Chains A and B, each alone.
Chain A
Amino acid sequence: MAFCPTEASGTAAGRRYTIRTLAFMAGYVAVNVAAIFGAFDDVKAPGSYALALIVAAPVIGQLWATLKLIEESDEFVRALMTKRMILASGLAIAAASAWGFMESYAGAPHLPGWLVYPLFWGFFGVVSPFVRSTR
């Protein structure tokens, strides 16, 4: 889902980002595999809320890894990543909001809220080739 921008690849910050992302994604896969095989089927609220947050934790962790990449990179990569993240966030928020209103007023099928996370990274990938300058 997430990827290391080419501008950060080969740098120490980029390597740390890759390791952190792989670790969080491994946790995400493990929790979801457990859920698919029914590990959480008999859990009721409030425990089910806690389990849902456990599933969300690696996603939050991966976003933290991305913010750390920005913090640990040099000024060029930091500015480039920040521009791309702002654009991708704006597009993801706009798309999620538009779909929400279509659900409310046009009977569009319901989509789970967590889809905004892969949607954000999809937009990040789309905007990245067009954002290659910090100016």
Chain B
Amino acid sequence: MKNTLRVLRAERGWSQADLGERLGVSRQAVNALETEKHDPSLDLAFRIAVLFERPIEAIFENPHHKSV
């Protein structure tokens, strides 16, 4: 799932490990999210949204947006 996590993280000067610690997941999980190898659960997506103070769809591109 396309997302702006890498940009948001870089804006704050956080490493993948830093972001992982804030979200309660591993550095590998953050890397997998950024490289689109893992779609987050709804719970993790909400945690990310709270952390960056943005709605989920401002961070993750809704792949179904055009077909809905």
Chain A positions within 8 Å of B, measured between CB atoms, are 6-8, 10-11, 73-77, 79, 132-135
Contacts and interface: CB of A to CB of B under 8 A. Distances in A.
Given A75-B44, A76-B32, A133 B26 contact: no
Contacts of A133: 32, 37-38
B29 interface: yes
A52 B1 CA distance: 49
Contacts of A77: 26, 28-29
A116 B40 CA distance: 34
A74 B37 contact: no
DSSP class of B's interface residues: helix, strand, loop or mixed? loop
A11 B39 CA distance: 20
Interface string B10-53: 00000000000000111111001100011111001000000000
A1 to B, nearest CB: 23
A88 B25 CA distance: 26
Given A75-B44, A76-B32, A134-B32, A7 B38 contact: no
4 nearest CB pairs, A to B:
A76-B29, A74-B25, A133-B37, A7-B28
Contacts of B40: 75
Contacts of B27: 10
A135 B39 contact: yes
A53 to B, nearest CB: 36
Contact of B37 (A10, A11, A75, A132): A132
Contacts of A132: 37
